Amino acid sequence: MTITEDKWDIIFAGGGLANGLIAFRLKQSHPHLNILIIEQDDHLGGNHTWSFHEKDLTPEQHEWIRPFIVHQWPYYEVVFQSYKREIPSAYYSISSERFHHVLTKHLSDEVMTNTRIQKVTAREVVLEDGRCLQANAVIDGRGFEKSNELAVGYQKFIGWEVVCSNPHGRDVPIIMDARVPQLDGYRFVYTLPYDTHTLLIEDTYYSDHANLDSETLNNGIENYASQQGWKIDSVRRIEKGILPITMAGDIQKFWNEKNLITCSGLRAALFNPTTGYSLAYAVRLADKIGRLSSINSKSLAETIKTYSIENWEKTGFYRFLNRMLYQAALPEERHKVLARFYQLPFRLIDRFYAGHLTLTDKIRLLIGKPPVPIGRALRCLSESQCLAAQKQKV
């Protein structure tokens, strides 16, 4: 696009999931707003697949997110060495291709692609070519940014969208197949069937570090496909990701690091602490902002920061579970924690993914013989000690 404005109401730095959904909802509720999305790639949404569970969203949220959905299934499966289970909960996926299509249709000339950002302030975006764009408010949604105030592990993956020369035989997703060698932490393979011959296959690790060994993961996908009897005819695309899994932190100091810059998505610590998935939180945030009667720098900053802090305070139990997974369980034994979890009632599993655990759920998760040594589990109780230990490593 050609820049013709002197100043915008809102500039979105980054055209990823959170910023894109906020812009979408704002144009529905406040169509008069003059907005601009700046994205470094040639299309919005990058190269991603976002998935979510039926109970992650309210019926109203399902309704407005529907144009973005490309695939849905009535249930999904998990597979471990000792058992296989069907979870009777619908599962949905959004592709970055559909995401780009829907947003550009609704936002038309308010999207600037192939544009790199050099600097962001509360009311200004400086582009790499030197241009300085002014706005009443700026929202920075350019992905997760490391912070001294967060102690994290990682979920990392490489995914191949493949076309098989023979029918693959899958009707529903397997969101965890842990019948694979346990390397670099907890490892599983995730598969989404798109049609009779097309699949997304992701080799995924819950790891202590963010190093992504592409050769190892690519080989893992090839080996897995071969073991399933899938003959890959072509690879349509390859996606990769490194998601933060939070174990501890100080959310107030985390926001103080932002220097008054308003953020969204992963950059605002708005994601499920245990899965790293952010779609439900992006949808909820977009709803909150869309309902604001007055859209300005102050109202946006206060709404996002308040939601981020409230969500952090509600998910302390998740961070405790993450410390159990990353610090109490030996890397090669982490699969036992997940194997135990997926034997719990499916309604509890739904609430876990949605971030709506009840007190009864939390008790149910902790009763019985723990899949980790008691001594190591007790050392995981303190969030402050975990954060202090992380800072000492840096």
User: Sorting pLDDT into bands at 50, 70 and 90, what band is 20?
Assistant: very high
CA distance 89 to 363: 23
Least confident of 47-51, 145-149, 277-281, 328-332: 328-332
Given a contact cutoff of 8 angstroms between Cβ atoms, the answer to whether 164 and 235 are in contact is no
Inform me whether the pLDDT recorded for 156 exceeds 60.
yes
User: Sorting pLDDT into bands at 50, 70 and 90, what band is 394?
Assistant: low
Inform me whether the pLDDT recorded for 275 exceeds 70.
yes
Q: What is the mean pLDDT of the chain?
A: 92
What pLDDT was estimated at residue 109?
84
How confident is the model over 51-56, as a mean pLDDT? 96
How confident is the model over 327-354, as a mean pLDDT? 90
How confident is the model over 38-63, as a mean pLDDT? 95
User: Sorting pLDDT into bands at 50, 70 and 90, what band is 247?
Assistant: very high
What pLDDT was estimated at residue 281?
97
Q: Which amino acid is at 263?
A: C
Higher pLDDT, 332 or 342: 342
What Å distances lie between residue 13 and 18, 94, 133, 170, 306, CA to CA?
11, 21, 11, 39, 20
User: Sorting pLDDT into bands at 50, 70 and 90, what band is 369?
Assistant: low
Contacts 24+ apart (CB under 8 A), 175-181: 175/51, 175/76, 175/77, 175/78, 175/91, 176/78, 176/79, 176/80, 176/338, 176/342, 177/78, 177/79, 177/224, 178/79, 178/80, 178/81, 178/335, 178/338, 178/339, 179/79, 179/80, 179/81, 180/220, 180/224
Q: pLDDT tens, 66-83? A: 999 999 999 999 999 999
DSSP string, 328-374: IS-GGGHHHHHHHHTTS-HHHHHHHHHT---HHHHHHHH-SS-SS-H
Inform me whether the pLDDT recorded for 242 exceeds 90.
yes
Which residues are paired to 176 by β-bridges? 78
Higher pLDDT, 246 or 326: 246
User: Sorting pLDDT into bands at 50, 70 and 90, what band is 371?
Assistant: low
Token pair for residue 316? 């302390």
Q: pLDDT tens, 299-322? A: 999 999 999 999 999 999 999 999
Q: How many CB atoms lie within 10 A of CB 246?
A: 23
How confident is the model over 169-193, as a mean pLDDT? 95
CA distance 132 to 327: 46
CA distance 294 to 6: 22
Higher pLDDT, 288 or 393: 288
What pLDDT was estimated at residue 1?
54
What pLDDT was estimated at residue 6?
64
CA distance 266 to 95: 18
Q: Which amino acid is at 218?
A: N
Least confident of 93-97, 309-313, 323-327: 323-327
* Residue with token string 């790499």: 128
pTM (2 d.p.)? 0.93
User: Sorting pLDDT into bands at 50, 70 and 90, what band is 138?
Assistant: very high
CA distance 76 to 138: 39
What pLDDT was estimated at residue 142?
94
How confident is the model over 236-245, as a mean pLDDT? 95
User: Sorting pLDDT into bands at 50, 70 and 90, what band is 87?
Assistant: very high
Reduced to 3 states (helix: H, G, I; strand: E, B; else coil), residue 252 is helix
Let me know if 163 is exposed, middle or buried by CB neighbors in 10 A (0-12, 13-18, 19+): middle
